[in-house]
């Protein structure tokens, strides 16, 4: 037995995060842990990694008592955690991030050639084809995730925790990761795999543990679980369908993009989105999907024409885009969508400060509170109050705050970039309902997603991008996962 955790309990003020949790992991085993946000998964892993200390319980590693007082103790013991929230140093190179604290040196000077050589080997293992000397801040979120995984491999760990490792990866990148997991498993490394993507759990895990409300509900061999049983155990209620049915009448063209180009990012994008329609954009990481949304929103320089309801609009800045009736929910909700120390109310009001302030200077708190309360009700945000810091909310509720802020601008066009990244299955269903509601009100919804099932289940049409250009468009009657990948990867 590689790891034993017995009766682990942890409480925070007003919250019992873990209650008598038992967990075991063998060498060369992949153990899946699933559960809704707030189930206790991340807290349990922080206890294992020395980030926090349990109030009660014991752990054993390789049969010996294990009680890390700090993260360094866990690292020294061979435990590496790849957190969902990235922990890279943005102004350092990929290679330097991979070997921080263990940089190869000659005579007290960093050996750059050796560093680049070692880093290139690790990057090849995770399928990331970029220069080891590139600064991390120049990478996309998905590429940074692959660097995190490569860094774990550099430490020659005996136990690796992967917390939502595929949240931003394409299908091809996921295949590379799963091949790496298989190699680690064959080498005797124990792996704890936390994911909201149940199809991944069924594919690579040997056993699956379900957590709910700080408890372990049940652990079974993967083959003994069915997907409906797993979902029911996670949320304590049946989910008949991930994607709520929509009976929306598709209207006239609301958003029209003509020859939109952003130099070095994408070129000659032309498409339309009609009122009441949900259109997806699929493609591999780096194809330019996120950049298209940012260009429409005025966050990237571009040329071409944007029309809303037949009228040309100028969106050189996000403020102009908001005035034109366009809202963006960004991929990186914590880095670009929220100010984490701010309250729910302040975050919801960020895009409409001029409307709820006097003379453009003094914030009218009652107006802000009213706007925030409307958003909390409409989005079904679970929060003790609008004055609570958004950092205290679960990932799914944080995403709803971002959606609520977008809705507060009363837009006609919604740009959603990876709207369900890193949130649990129950929260996903609620986000899908909200997207359906946005379209049902006559809005035009444009969604970027790396989740193929999400695109196929949510959208009326799918646009597929390849190397910065539109490779094809599929109507719902033509939806097929293989066809989408063929368009995305065809050279």
Contact 231, 425 (CB under 8 A): yes
The matching CATH number, chosen from 3.20.20.70, 3.40.50.1820, 3.40.50.300, 3.40.50.720, for 253-489 is 3.40.50.300
**Domain boundary assignment for the chain:** 3-235, 253-489
The vertex-441 CA angle with 440 and 442, nearest 5°, equals 90
How far does the chain reach from its first CA to its final CA, in angstroms? Answer: 47
Cross-strand bridge partners of residue 59: 5
Q: Percent helix, strand and coil across the chain, each rounded to 5? A: 35, 25, 35
**Per-position pLDDT tens, the chain of length 491:** 999 999 999 988 767 889 999 999 999 999 999 987 678 888 899 999 999 999 999 999 999 999 999 998 998 899 988 876 667 888 999 998 888 877 777 777 787 888 889 899 988 888 788 899 999 988 877 788 788 888 888 877 899 998 877 766 667 777 877 888 888 899 899 999 998 778 889 999 999 999 988 899 999 999 999 888 888 888 776 555 678 777 778 999 999 999 999 999 999 999 999 999 999 999 877 789 999 999 999 999 999 999 999 999 999 999 899 999 999 999 888 778 888 888 888 888 777 767 766 665 566 777 777 887 888 887 788 888 888 888 888 777 888 888 888 888 889 999 999 988 777 777 788 888 889 988 998 999 999 998 888 898 899 999 999 889 999 999 998 888 778 878 887 64
Note the pLDDT of residue 19: 93
pTM of the model: 0.62
In degrees rounded to 5, what are phi and psi of residue 313? -125, 150
The gap from C-alpha 166 to its chain's centroid, in whole angstroms, comes to 8
Structure tokens at 18: 């873990």
Q: What's the CATH class of domain 3-235?
A: alpha beta
Neighbour tally for 436: CB within 10 Å: 19
CA atoms lying within 13 Å on the CB side of residue 257? 23
């Amino acid at each position: 037995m590689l790891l034993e955790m017995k009766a682990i309990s942890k409480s925070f003020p007003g919250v019992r995060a873990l209650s008598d949790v038992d967990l075991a992991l063998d060498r060369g085993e992949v153990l899946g842990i699933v559960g809704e946000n707030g189930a206790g998964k991340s807290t349990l892993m922080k206890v294992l990694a020395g980030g926090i200390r349990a109030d009660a319980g014991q752990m054993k590693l390789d049969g010996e008592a294990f009680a890390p007082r700090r993260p360094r103790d866990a690292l020294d013991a061979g435990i590496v955690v790849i957190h969902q929230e990235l922990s890279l140093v943005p102004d350092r190179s990929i290679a330097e991030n991979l070997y921080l604290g263990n940089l190869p040196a000659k005579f007290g000077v960093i050996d750059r050639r050796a560093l680049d050589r070692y880093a290139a080997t690790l990057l090849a293992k995770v399928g990331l084809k970029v220069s080891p000397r590139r600064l991390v801040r120049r990478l996309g979120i998905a590429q940074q995730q692959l660097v995190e995984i490569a860094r774990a491999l550099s430490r020659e760990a005996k136990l690796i925790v992967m917390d939502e490792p595929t949240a931003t990866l394409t299908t091809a990148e996921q295949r590379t990761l799963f091949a790496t997991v298989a190699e680690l498993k064959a080498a005797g490394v124990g792996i704890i795999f936390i994911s909201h993507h149940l199809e991944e759990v069924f594919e690579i895990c040997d056993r699956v543990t379900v957590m709910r409300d700080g408890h372990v509900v049940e652990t079974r061999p993967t083959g003994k679980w069915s997907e409906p049983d797993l979902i029911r155990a996670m949320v304590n209620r049946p989910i008949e369908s991930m994607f709520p049915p929509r009976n929306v009448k598709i209207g006239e063209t609301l958003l029209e993009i003509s020859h939109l180009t952003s130099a070095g990012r994408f070129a000659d994008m032309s498409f339309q989105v009609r009122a009441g329609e949900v259109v997806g954009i699929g493609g591999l990481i780096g194809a330019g999907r996120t950049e298209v949304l940012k260009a429409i929103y005025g966050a990237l320089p571009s040329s071409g024409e944007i029309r809303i309801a037949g009228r040309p609009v100028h969106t050189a800045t996000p403020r102009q885009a908001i005035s034109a009736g366009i809202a963006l929910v960004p991929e990186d909700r914590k880095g670009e969508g929220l100010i984490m120390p701010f309250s729910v109310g302040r975050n919801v009001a960020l895009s409409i400060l001029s409307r709820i302030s006097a003379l453009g200077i003094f914030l009218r708190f009652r107006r802000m509170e009213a706007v925030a309360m409307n958003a909390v009700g409409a989005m079904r945000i679970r929060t003790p109050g609008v004055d609570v810091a958004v950092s205290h909310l679960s990932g799914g509720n944080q995403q709803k705050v971002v959606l609520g802020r977008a809705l507060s601008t009363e837009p006609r066009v919604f740009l959603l970039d990876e709207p369900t990244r890193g949130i649990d299955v129950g929260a996903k269903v609620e986000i899908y309902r909200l997207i359906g509601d946005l379209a049902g009100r006559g809005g035009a919804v444009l969604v970027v997603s790396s989740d193929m099932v999400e695109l196929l289940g949510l959208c009326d049409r799918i646009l597929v991008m390849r190397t910065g250009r539109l490779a094809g468009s599929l109507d719902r009657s033509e939806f097929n996962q293989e066809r989408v990948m063929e368009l995305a990867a065809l050279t």
